[in-house]
Every structure is written in structure tokens, then in C-alpha cells.
Amino acid sequence: MSVLVDKNTRLIVQGITGTEGLFHTQQMLAYGTNIVAGVTPGKGGEWVEGKVPVFDSVKKAAETTEANASIIFVPARFAPDAMFEAADAGIPLIICITEGVAVQDMMRVRNYLDQKGVRLIGPNCPGLLTPGEAKVGIIPGDIAIPGNVGVVSRSGTLTYEVLYAMKNIGLGASTCVGIGGDPVNGTNFIDCLEMFNDDPKTEKVVLIGEIGGNDEEKAAEYIANKMTKPVVSFIAGQSAPPGKRMGHAGAIIEGGAGTAEDKINALKSAGVRVARHPEEIAELLK
Amino acid sequence: MSVLVDKNTRLIVQGITGTEGLFHTQQMLAYGTNIVAGVTPGKGGEWVEGKVPVFDSVKKAAETTEANASIIFVPARFAPDAMFEAADAGIPLIICITEGVAVQDMMRVRNYLDQKGVRLIGPNCPGLLTPGEAKVGIIPGDIAIPGNVGVVSRSGTLTYEVLYAMKNIGLGASTCVGIGGDPVNGTNFIDCLEMFNDDPKTEKVVLIGEIGGNDEEKAAEYIANKMTKPVVSFIAGQSAPPGKRMGHAGAIIEGGAGTAEDKINALKSAGVRVARHPEEIAELLK
Amino acid sequence: MKLHEYQSKTIFSKYGIPIPKGRVAATAVEAKHIAEELGGRVVIKSQVLVGGRGKAGGIKLAKDPNEAEQLATQILGMEIKGLPVRKVLVDEAASIDQEIYLGITNDRAAKKPVIMASAAGGVDIEEVAATNPEKIIKVHIDPLLGIRDYQTRDIASGIDLPREYWKSFGEIVKGLWQAYSDNDATLAEINPLVISKDKMVALDGKMLIDDNAMFRHPNLNEMRDLDVEAPSEIEARKYGLTFIKLDGDIGCMVNGAGLAMATMDIIKLFGGEPANFLDIGGGAGADKVAAAMRIILSDPNVKAILFNVFGGITRGDEVAKGILAAMKEVKPTVPMVIRLVGTNAEEGRRLLADADMITAETLADAAKKAVAAAQGA
Amino acid sequence: MKLHEYQSKTIFSKYGIPIPKGRVAATAVEAKHIAEELGGRVVIKSQVLVGGRGKAGGIKLAKDPNEAEQLATQILGMEIKGLPVRKVLVDEAASIDQEIYLGITNDRAAKKPVIMASAAGGVDIEEVAATNPEKIIKVHIDPLLGIRDYQTRDIASGIDLPREYWKSFGEIVKGLWQAYSDNDATLAEINPLVISKDKMVALDGKMLIDDNAMFRHPNLNEMRDLDVEAPSEIEARKYGLTFIKLDGDIGCMVNGAGLAMATMDIIKLFGGEPANFLDIGGGAGADKVAAAMRIILSDPNVKAILFNVFGGITRGDEVAKGILAAMKEVKPTVPMVIRLVGTNAEEGRRLLADADMITAETLADAAKKAVAAAQGA
């Protein structure tokens, strides 16, 4: 068991013939992910890596291959359209890796997808990894091993750091979900905590947060009230100055809200053990 | 029993201080309809007929009075806003009497209300009458008596004609629903047929249609497959020429579709007895 | 409200849709000048608000300015389906490699706008729809979201458009959507949209504007061409009446559109022919009723009038006063049958007691009496 | 991207929002001329992209053109919070009967834009939000539907605005919404919106534009004021790097924003102070790494550099090549600690074997070594 993606995931890659899309398609295929189709408008009929058929539209790809998930690697200005297209084609799970999507676009996308009951991961995220089953995104496959720790994170390489530290002491992950660092995105911490709470394979959970917004605070509230499994956390940005956007569009302390301190305190009050630095997470999981 | 409105309806009147709104508020109050509030922006705090409080917004009116329906009498250019406002205020049943609402506005309204699960009657309709219980609209109260015939109609005065002819031979109505003659509106024939089919008080149903669109054909299909109660019908516009809009924005034979003949044939095939003129409906119900 | 081809194309052009070079002319000399400016062959197209202009000889190809003048003279003298040609559009002629149909309208069943396209453009699209529905691609647009790029590609792919045209086609579809949306159109149509020397051009254009949305578009209202309507219909609109002239001999005045249709129907059922559709609307007062009566009587074919008024908001006494006022003014010589029911019907009947009118209790009775009166007259 | 007050107000004005008469000046003489044109008293307002201009003496009232010139001279010579004042806005002075706050921003939790208003305008709205949250009215807007008239009335009523102003206030709210929406703003704010002699006027204006949406707004990009950013940050953007200068002495170069923050945090945890935030992004090649290194070393405070690279898309050997190239060019004299893990880390480490660098296995180890190096230097 795992959450969101596994061996039964039938994946479409939107933007499969682009540089990024092609590279990560190769990586995902090498990992064993079941990529059933690619989409690049105007390139329908071609093949990628000799085994993935390319279609002009998600609708055609989905109808032909019965795909149940789609990952998006198209440039930021086209990513909203790609998400609408996947949703309208009836894809229930969309993972958008693309960074730099405009926030008003994302508000429209998110509200539209919610109406349709479509689950979105990202944008600006590393995607999903269920070690040993499916890599749906850009998380390097060799830094994590199968296990019983559910990992959810707003950050990319910081997550790799944690997965790698876990692997080094023999701890594996059930599924790692990179939810992305944008202010308006799809799936949030609480969604993932719920899924991990319900997943029999997951015994402990790692939550990697960062400054900005109040999703960590809300997650803490959820943990205090509902979570039956132990949670370990790290919050990045304790040394970040207010008013400066720390790379991620959502990582900014605005009007005194969204500080690392607030988040850490909220999590600690909810019984979460908070690591002082990322590698310490592995220690706290033992 | 009855459908949609009865003694428990707690009604708001939007546009209560306008000429039309005020006149029909008086008529509805005289009939015994439970009007709990009126709305006219800028006139909050006033009273109508000494007993209906006026509010600036539907939200305030609804919060204060626990209203469960709202009827709209505002001019066409403001009617879409009035419908959005009522829906956002959580009103589950909206009746829009206003004629002449732009069709692109109505498409936006209808799609929005569907998302919210709000039921709309109209626009450009005479509203609802549950004889002896509630008059929510402009159907003259004295032309119908309580009874067991459910009436649904796209037309206004044509409906009065039928109700009056029924009354003249002692037949009464459970509820009369005027769904309006616009091409894009809220509740349609099938919605009403379903409600009448489920309503223990309703034993027979009258369906009054007209040229334009294909709602009558779809209703015929529903009747053939699902309806357990006898249906009598009349379709107006047998003598109407194609391409000419017969008053109602939706009453037009376009591209050869929507003729009275097609509708009558469809209904007859579904076992519906179709009257040759409106007064004959009363005869066919006996 | 219908827009002329040249008006529609001018609007389309503002939304980035390529149209042929050309201008509208009211005289043959103007047409010649335009042809001189354009150089080469031109098309002279009558600007009338009916279909079938080509078959009626209202569209001609001219090889030079002199022929343009000659053909324009000819076309400007024509009537097409009863409408006088007052203007011609002079467009440069285009070579045509493919003709595509592209249109946006409201799908009342889906409650959404629908874009329709077909590789078989240039012909009557309704016929294609009836005989080869699979040749028409339909894509519904979420009215709250608007059109998405991927939908334009789905349409392009659906009509097997060569890929090199997808981008320019997509821009045209988005332009047409914006024209439809911004102008409250009920129809925005390009037929044909042609591929001409590797470029796409909208050769013909048609827009219908929602009369109910005209308050948002005063500029469009100025484009209204009154030729398309019978003078009596224009007169009726002034008074807020909905009037449609028909070919029969029994004038009808009814309150409510559905009841007005039913009244026409019952006249026909009992062997008569209605002369018009006329809805005086809800709450019509004496002045409106008088205007309605004048309009009906201005039709020389009318041999009898049937008044059918079911009082609801409309009050029977008001209607009666209107009839009396109009009778004084126009002194009708045709028999009149009246049926008055509902609000204040008693008072109305009393007011009309001395007037020379045939009264009826039921609609069926009224219709029978009107038919008899018209035939007896 | 932040817009200046005068830029924001010019945009607002295009959307029908009333603003004071006035213009921007780059010299005191210009300011005098504008004051002469306007007549009467004027306000001289420094145009710098920081808050607290008033408290810093950057906003002054002048009674006549001469005083305007004098005050403009003074203000144009100022620095406010480190930013030079290069322009002043000269606005006619307004009498103020009431000050209102009106702003639109994104509510990330609700995933919707939110309009906020308060009868207590003119002050720090964040302070009002913290101390008297009930004094701020919040109305969320459905991003697919846009603003509705009734919502503007709800806001007006919520801040107890006298009814005679509801209509003009509604137009202002709708104008601000359109400005926010059309320009991909993340904030559009009027503070204060004043009632002055029975009219509403936007005395001050502020807009933040979403950098991610700039591709849709080339015209806004031209308004960008580079003064607000440190030169190193501008240089970094050229190379697609995200760089933020801080006050410490340990330069950081990291791939990934979260990891970059965590690296700063751990430096601090072990007693050091980071000199910057620097994310070289995913898949950074040698040229990008070299540029990043130059930018870090351009800061004279930097006493050590910590390279923390977790190879995923980014390849360790590419990073190593970049470091070697930059070292040749800038010949750093500060100690450098490097931690390289993940994709092609082995090759990277091999390439760097001969370079004069301190290596580390874990992030904690690397941070400790960097802190020690900076303190030992």
C-alpha cells in the first residue's frame, strides 16, 4: 500500500517531447513507472523511447490508454491550460511540476478543479515517489527505499536531503509527496496527513514545511485533533528575514505572519517532534 | 403536500420597493404567503405594508429571518446580480420573475447556481402557486383551487387559461410551476415531472409547452420511461412561422427544429394525451 | 438583432481575425473607386439580412473596376427576399484552397455556448448537421471559464486541419469567442473561413446580437438595420409591444406570448388564418392597447379582430378603455370579437357593453365567432 | 514587482478611480511648475518603494509653488530606508472628511482573491488587522465569476459608509478589482480612499505585480524600478538565480529554495551568520554556478563560502566545473566548504580533488566546518 501512486498508476506525461519532459520520462521509465502515453500538441503519432505513444490531446491519450494520472512538464505560461485540459479529459490526479505559474491563474485552476473533484499536486513541486512502485515526478529514485514513513513536503531538494538521511540509516518511505512551494496550489498538508493516517503501510509521518502562509499551523491543528500516527517535522526559514521572498513564491513572511517560529511552536504544541536541521529528522524517526 | 412551495415557505422579495415588487408583495401577502423579508439596497430599515422588514442585502435578510426562498422582481440588467446574491446568501430556491435577462448572463448564472446546488425557477416566468398554501409569483390566486393536478408550463397567461378552465369544472391543482419561456433558464420540465411523480398529493400532471428548443421532446422521453402518473399536454405555436421569435426569447423554430408538430408527436408517442386547444386540457383531465 | 456581413467582419477584424481587404459602398461609383484602390479582381456582395444572397444573384465577381461599377449598379437595384439592397461590400477576391465552417452559438440544452466547426464549410451548415452530423465538431465552453487553448486544438484536430494552420486557426477561434462574448452575440459565425495561399481568411461573417443585452452595447444599437422588419413591427416595438405580421385575415390582440400563440392556433383549428402575433404584455394600459389596435388595423387584409385578454397583472377595465379610445380614433369597419376574463373583467365588459362588439365566454367560443365574422365579412 | 504610488494611481485612474490632479517630477523646478499649474496647496510625495515615507519626512504639504520647489529640493535629496528619492509626486492637496482603507489581495488559504476594507483607513492596516480585526470587512471573490455589484454594497454597508456614497464606492471597488485582475496584481490597494467635499478620491495607491505573470504585461515590466533591489540581486536575476543579500559573513550556494533556507538555518544553528540566500535552481550548469560564485564573492563581508548541492536534476560534475571556472576567474581568498551529494557527486568530488576546498559528508558537518572557517579567517 501507499498513497496516490503505485504500480497501478497509468500515467500520461504532458509536454513529453520537451527537454524536461523527455529527460524525466526516461528517468521515470527507468524506475519502472507505468507511463502509458505522452501529449505534445502537433506531435500526435510519434513515439518516445520506442514505447510511449504521443497524442495531440489529453482527451485522446486518456481515451486510448485509460490513464488515471497525468504529470505536467510544460512551460509556466502554458501550464494552466494543461491543467484545465487534463481535468476536462477526466483525469482524476494531476501532478504539475512546472515552476513559475502566475498566482491568479492558479486561483482559477484550483477553483475549477475543485468543482470537478480533481486532485492536483503542485505546481512547482517535485511530484511523488512511492519507492519500489512508482516515481511520478523528479525525485531521484535512488535516494529512497521502500518503508513505512510517509513524507510530505513543500520543498524539493530539502526533501531529497531527508529521504537520503533516512535511507542512510535504513529507513524507507511509503510514499513521498512533494506538494510544492507556491502560495496557491493543489493538495495541502492536511490532505496528505489524512491519506497517511488511513494508509495501513504508513506508520510514521514526516512533514517538511517552510516559512509563509499558515498551512503548517493548520496541519498542527489537524495533527492534534485527528492524527493517530507520530509526526516528525522540520521547518525551513528560521533565519529568513521578513518581507523577502525566499525563492519559492509562497516562502515569504508577510505582515509578521508565517514565521518559522510560529509554525514550530504550533507543531510542538500538537505533539510533533521538530528537528533542528533536516538530517536530524532521520534520527527522530528511529 | 405539494412541490417546491407550501405553508412552510419563508419568502424574501428582492426588489420589494419597486412598482412590480410592491404590487405583487401585496397580492402574495393577501393570499397568505409567508413573506419574511424584502431586499432593496439602500432601503434597509424600512418596512413594507407595515409588516415586512426591508434589508440592504439578501445575506442580512436571510440571516435575520431564516428565509428558504427568494423571489426576484428587479429590472433585467440587475437580475443576474440578484440571482448570484441570493445563491451566495445560501438561499436554496430562487424564483426570478424578471423578463428580458440577457442569455449570456443566464448561462453564467445557471452554471454558477448548478455548482452551488441552488434551484432556480425562471427567469421570465409567472412563478409558483400551491393553491390554498402559497402564491410565490404573479399567478392570480383566484383562478385556481386546491386539488391533485400538478401543472408545469413554459407560458404565463396560457397557464392561467388552463387553471381557470380546470377550476370551472371543479378541478384543482397541487402546485402550478411556471418555468418560463427563456432559452436558458433554471428548472425544466423533467425536474418538475420528477417532483410531481414523487408527490403523493399529485395524481395527474398537465404539461404546457410551446415551440422552440427540445425540452418537450426530452420530457416525452422521461414520461415514456419513468412517469407513473397520467400526463395531459398542450403545445402552443402550431401556427407559428419558422425563424420568427414568438414573444418569448425561447419560442422560435430554428433550423427546422423545435416545431409544435415534433413536440406533439413525441408526447403522443409517450402516451400523453395532447389537447387541441388550452380549454380542452380540462376536459382531458376528467 | 442581425448585423450585416460587413459589420460582422469589421467586428471580427478588431479581434484579430483576418478578413479580406475591402469596404462597403452605397453607390456604384463608390464601388468602382474601391475596386480601383484594391486592384485586381473584386467580389461585389449585396448587404441584406437574409440568407441565400448568392443564389439570388446578390454576389458577383468583377474582373476590373468598370465591371465592378456595372455589377454594383445591378445589385444595388435588386430586392432579395423582399429586402432592398442598399449597400454592397466590395472585397478583394481570394483564391480558395479549403472552405471551413466556424461558428459559436448558445446550446440551450447544455446551458453553455458551443463552438461548431466543419471541414465542409461554405454550404448550408444546417444541412450538414442534418445529413452528416459526424462532420461537425462541437465543443462546449464553460461560460465562467471561457475558451481554453487546448479546445481550439481539439477543434483543429477534429476537422483534420493540417498542423501548420493550428496556431493561426487557434487565434481565429479565440478571436471569434471574444467577439461573441464581448458583444453578447447569440451567434458569431464565419462561413466560409478559407485557406487562401497558405493563409486563413474569414470570407463571410454573421453575427446575431441578443436584444436583451443591448443596454450594454449602445454602439451596436446604432448599427441596427430597420429594413429587415416590417414597419408595423418597428412601430410596435416603440410601444413595447411584440408584433409579428402574418398572412391571414384575423387580427389578434392577446396578453402573454404563450396565450397569443395558442389564440393563433385555435383560430387555425377552427378554419381561420391569423393576421398577426401580438402580445400586449403584462399590465398593458389604455395607450398601449390603443397603439396595438391601430397597428392591427393598418393591415388591409384584416377582416376581423379577436381580443383575448386573460386579466392577471393586465386589468380588464384598462384594456376596455384602450379599445374604446382606439375605436374613436380609427373607426374600425371590421367586426370585433372580445373575450375578457380575470382581473377586473366585469368592469371591462361593462365599459364595452355599448360598443359594437361580439362577446365570448371561452377561448374556443371566441375563436369560432372570429372565424365566422371574418368569413362573413 | 512593486509599482510606485504614481504608477499605481495612473493605472487606477484608467479604471475610473478618481485620483487627485497631479504629476510626477524628477527635479524641483518641475515640481514648482506642476504646483503652478495646479494652483493652491500641493502635496510633495517622495516616490520610493518602501513604507513609512511620511514618518521619514518624505511627504510634505506646500502652500505655494515656491515652497513646493523648496520642499521638492529637500525631498529629492533624501534617502529613505536606504533608497534614494529620484522622483516626487506633486498632487493637489485635498481636504479630508473620512479616510477609508480598500485593498485586494490573494487569500492563499481560501485560494481566492479577497477584498478588504475598513472605515479606519490611512493607518497601518496590518496593525488594525492585528488589534481590531472586526474593523476590517473581508469579502472573497470567486476568481471564475469576478466581482458582483452586490458584493460592493456588502462592503459599503460593512464599513458603515453613508448610503449616498454607495454608488461611487461601488464603481471604485469594481475599478480596483479590474485593475487587480487585468494586471495580475498580488496586491492593489488604496489607502487612504478619502471622502473630500462629498466626493471620493484615492489619495494613495499601491500595486504589487506577480513576477510570474510578467510575460503577459511587457508594459508593466518597463515600469520596474531597479533602485529597490541590491545590484547583486539584479545581476543574479540575469542568470536566472534567486539571490537575496543578508548581513552575515558566510556565503551560501545551494540548489533548491527549501534546502537553501535550511542551509542558512543550520549555519545559524551552529553559531554562524549567512551572508545570503542563493538558489541556483534545478539543473544549473557551469556558467550559472560561476555567476553565482562571482555574486557571492562581490560581497566584502563574506569570510567563507558553503556549497551545498544535492544532485537531482542538478549534476554534481557540472557544479564542480562551475566552481573551478569561477575560481580561475575570481581567485577567491576565503575558505570554501563543499558538500556534494546525489547525481554525479562522485565525478564532481573527483574534479574538485585538487582544488583548495574543505569537503564535508553531511549538511551538519558542512555547516560546522563553514562556521569554523569563517571565525578562523
Residue among B139, B240, B249 whose CB faces C261 most closely: B240
Residue B253 CA, chain-centre distance (Å), reads 22
The Cα–Cα gap between A279 and A162 comes to: 6
Judged against a pLDDT cut of 70, whether residue A1 lies above it is answered with no
Pairing, β C59-62 against β C42-46:
antiparallel
CB C351 within 8 A of CB C324: yes
A282's grid cell: 532521520
Interface of D with A in 3-62 (CB under 8 A): none
Tell me the mean pLDDT in the region D89-108.
Answer: 95
State residue C261's pLDDT score: 96
Nearest CA distance, A72 vs chain C (angstrom): 14
Mark yes or no for CB contact D258/A250 under 8 Å: no
Judged against a pLDDT cut of 70, whether residue C377 lies above it is answered with no
Mark yes or no for CB contact D154/B44 under 8 Å: no
- The CATH number of the structural domain formed by A11-121 is 3.40.50.720
Q: Which of D99, D189, D229, D318 is catalytic?
A: D189
Does residue A228 belong to the interface with chain D, where contact is any CB pair within 8 Å? Answer: no
- Nearest CA to C203 out of C215, C189, C192, C214 is that of C192
Mark yes or no for CB contact D112/A153 under 8 Å: no
* C85-132 residue pLDDT tens: 999 999 999 999 999 999 999 999 999 999 999 998 887 777 787 788
Tell me the mean pLDDT in the region D328-335.
Answer: 86
Interface with chain D: mutation pick from C144, C145, C147, C149, highest number of D CBs within 10 Å: C144
Q: Is the peptide bond before A123 cis (omega within 30 degrees of 0)?
A: yes
Does residue A234 belong to the interface with chain D, where contact is any CB pair within 8 Å? Answer: yes
- Please name the residue of chain C whose CA is at the shortest distance from the CA of residue B114: C111
Paired with B205 in beta bridges are B150, B231
CB B186 within 8 A of CB B110: yes
Element (H, E) at D34: helix D28-38
**Residue B251 half-sphere exposure, CB side, CA atoms within 13 Å?**
30
CB contact burial A252-261 (16+ within 10 A = b; e otherwise): bbbeebbbbe
Residue among A42, A44, A81 whose CB faces C150 most closely: A81
- Nearest CA to D120 out of D111, D107, D130, D112 is that of D130
Residue C250 DSSP symbol = E
Does residue C154 belong to the interface with chain A, where contact is any CB pair within 8 Å? Answer: yes
- Alpha helices (H) in chain A, listed in sequence order: 19-31, 58-65, 79-88, 103-116, 157-168, 189-198, 215-226, 260-269, 278-285
The angle at the Cα of D124, spanning D118 to D125, to the nearest 5 degrees, equals 35
Using a CB-CB cut-off of 8 Å, the residues of chain D touching B88 are: 148, 150
**Burial environment of residue B18 by CB neighbours within 10 A (0 to 12, 13 to 18, 19 or more):** middle
- Alpha helices (H) in D247-344, listed in sequence order: 257-269, 286-297, 316-330
Mark yes or no for CB contact C145/D145 under 8 Å: no
Chains touching chain A at 3 or more Cβ pairs under 8 angstroms? C, D
Which residue has 489581495 as its cell numbers? Answer: D105
Does residue B135 belong to the interface with chain C, where contact is any CB pair within 8 Å? Answer: no
**Residue B84 half-sphere exposure, CB side, CA atoms within 13 Å?**
22
C189 is catalytic: yes
Mark yes or no for CB contact B102/C363 under 8 Å: no
CB C188 within 8 A of CB C181: no
* C156-211 residue pLDDT tens: 999 999 999 999 999 999 999 999 999 999 999 999 999 999 999 999 999 999 99
CB B73 within 8 A of CB B21: yes
- Please name the residue of chain A whose CA is at the shortest distance from the CA of residue D257: A247
Residue among D106, D130, D264 whose CB faces A239 most closely: D264
Chains touching chain C at 3 or more Cβ pairs under 8 angstroms? A, B, D
B197's grid cell: 411523480
Does residue C157 belong to the interface with chain A, where contact is any CB pair within 8 Å? Answer: yes
Catalytic residue numbers of B, as ranges: 248
* C248-294 residue pLDDT tens: 999 999 999 999 999 999 999 999 999 999 998 876 677 888 889 89
Mark yes or no for CB contact A58/C150 under 8 Å: yes
The pairs formed by A193-196 with CB atoms below 8 angstroms and a separation of 24 or more are: A193/A152, A193/A219, A193/A222, A193/A223, A193/A226, A193/A227, A193/A231, A194/A222, A194/A226, A195/A3, A195/A4, A195/A150, A196/A3, A196/A150, A196/A152, A196/A229
Judged against a pLDDT cut of 90, whether residue B246 lies above it is answered with no
Question: Three-state SS across chain B?
Answer: CCCCCCCCCCEEEECCCCHHHHHHHHHHHHHCCCEEEEECCCCCCCEECCCEEEECCHHHHHHHHCCCEEEECCCCCCHHHHHHHHHHCCCCEEEECCCCCCHHHHHHHHHHHHHHCCEEECCCCCEEEECCCEEEECCCHHHCCEEEEEEEECCCHHHHHHHHHHHHCCCCEEEEEECCCCCCCCCCHHHHHHHHHHCCCCCEEEEEEECCCCHHHHHHHHHHHHCCCCEEEEEECCCCCCCCCCCCCCCCCECCECCHHHHHHHHHHCCCEECCCHHHHHHHHC
The Cα–Cα gap between C158 and C116 comes to: 10
* A11-121 and A139-285, same CATH topology: yes
Residue among B56, B60, B81 whose CB faces D149 most closely: B81
Mean pLDDT of chain B: 95
State residue C218's pLDDT score: 92
- Please name the residue of chain C whose CA is at the shortest distance from the CA of residue A78: C149
- Nearest CA to C262 out of C308, C304, C297, C305 is that of C308
Residue C38 CA, chain-centre distance (Å), reads 32
B143's grid cell: 383562478
Judged against a pLDDT cut of 70, whether residue B134 lies above it is answered with yes
Residue among B102, B161, B181 whose CB faces C257 most closely: B181
Using a CB-CB cut-off of 8 Å, the residues of chain B touching D115 are: none
Residue among B140, B181, B211 whose CB faces C312 most closely: B140
* A139-190 residue pLDDT tens: 999 999 999 999 999 998 999 999 999 999 999 999 999 999 999 999 999 9
ipTM score of complex: 0.92
- φ, ψ of residue A240 in degrees (nearest 5): -80, 135
Judged against a pLDDT cut of 70, whether residue B68 lies above it is answered with yes
**Residue C130 half-sphere exposure, CB side, CA atoms within 13 Å?**
9
- Alpha helices (H) in chain C, listed in sequence order: 5-14, 28-38, 65-76, 125-131, 149-158, 166-182, 218-221, 231-238, 257-269, 286-297, 316-330, 345-352, 363-376
- Nearest CA to C351 out of C338, C365, C362 is that of C338
Higher pLDDT, A167 or A247: A167
Mark yes or no for CB contact A85/C166 under 8 Å: no
The Cα–Cα gap between C376 and C367 comes to: 14
The Cα–Cα gap between D331 and D318 comes to: 19
- Nearest CA to B150 out of B171, B123, B122, B126 is that of B171
Judged against a pLDDT cut of 60, whether residue B1 lies above it is answered with no
The angle at the Cα of B240, spanning C348 to B121, to the nearest 5 degrees, equals 70
Class of domain A139-285 as given by CATH: alpha beta
Q: Is the peptide bond before C133 cis (omega within 30 degrees of 0)?
A: no
Q: Any idea where the domains of chain A sit in the sequence?
A: 11-121, 139-285
Count of pairs with CB atoms under 8 A, one residue in A, one in C: 29
- Please name the residue of chain B whose CA is at the shortest distance from the CA of residue D164: B42
Nearest CA distance, D181 vs chain C (angstrom): 14
- Alpha helices (H) in D224-362, listed in sequence order: 231-238, 257-269, 286-297, 316-330, 345-352
- Nearest CA to B107 out of C217, D3, C107 is that of C107
Say which range, A220-229, C1-10, D142-151, D327-336, has the weakest mean pLDDT: D327-336
State residue D377's pLDDT score: 53
Interface with chain C: mutation pick from A84, A109, A113, highest number of C CBs within 10 Å: A84
Mean pLDDT of chain D: 92
Mark yes or no for CB contact D153/B59 under 8 Å: no
Tell me the mean pLDDT in the region D265-293.
Answer: 89
State residue C221's pLDDT score: 86
A34's grid cell: 507505468
Mark yes or no for CB contact A82/C150 under 8 Å: yes
Q: Which amino acid is at C362?
A: T
Does residue C160 belong to the interface with chain A, where contact is any CB pair within 8 Å? Answer: no
Mean pLDDT of chain A: 95
The angle at the Cα of C269, spanning C264 to C275, to the nearest 5 degrees, equals 35
- Please name the residue of chain C whose CA is at the shortest distance from the CA of residue B185: C111
Using a CB-CB cut-off of 8 Å, the residues of chain D touching C144 are: 144-145
Interface with chain B: mutation pick from D154, D163, D166, highest number of B CBs within 10 Å: D154
Q: Which of C5, C69, C99, C189 is catalytic?
A: C189
Nearest CA distance, C259 vs chain B (angstrom): 4
Tell me the mean pLDDT in the region C219-245.
Answer: 85
Nearest CA distance, B81 vs chain D (angstrom): 6
B205's grid cell: 400532471
Q: What is the dihedral of CA B257, B258, B262, B267, to 10 degrees?
A: 140
The Cα–Cα gap between D358 and D352 comes to: 10
- Nearest CA to D143 out of B229, A103, A71 is that of A103
Does residue D140 belong to the interface with chain B, where contact is any CB pair within 8 Å? Answer: no
* C301-352 residue pLDDT tens: 999 999 999 987 778 888 888 888 888 887 888 999 999 998 888 899 999 8
Nearest CA distance, C44 vs chain A (angstrom): 38
A35's grid cell: 507511463
CB D253 within 8 A of CB D296: yes
Backbone angle region of B137, left / alpha / beta, with phi > 0 → left and psi within -120 to 50 → alpha: left
* B135-176 residue pLDDT tens: 999 999 999 999 999 999 999 899 999 999 999 999 999 999
Judged against a pLDDT cut of 60, whether residue D277 lies above it is answered with yes
Judged against a pLDDT cut of 80, whether residue C239 lies above it is answered with yes
The Cα–Cα gap between C212 and B77 comes to: 9
Judged against a pLDDT cut of 90, whether residue D131 lies above it is answered with no
The Cα–Cα gap between D145 and C146 comes to: 11
Which residue has 443596454 as its cell numbers? Answer: C215
Residue among C150, C154, C166 whose CB faces A42 most closely: C166
CB C59 within 8 A of CB C69: no
CB D202 within 8 A of CB D17: yes
Per-residue confidence band for C52, with pLDDT thresholds at 50, 70 and 90: confident
- φ, ψ of residue D27 in degrees (nearest 5): -135, 160
The angle at the Cα of A176, spanning A173 to A180, to the nearest 5 degrees, equals 160
Does residue C145 belong to the interface with chain A, where contact is any CB pair within 8 Å? Answer: yes
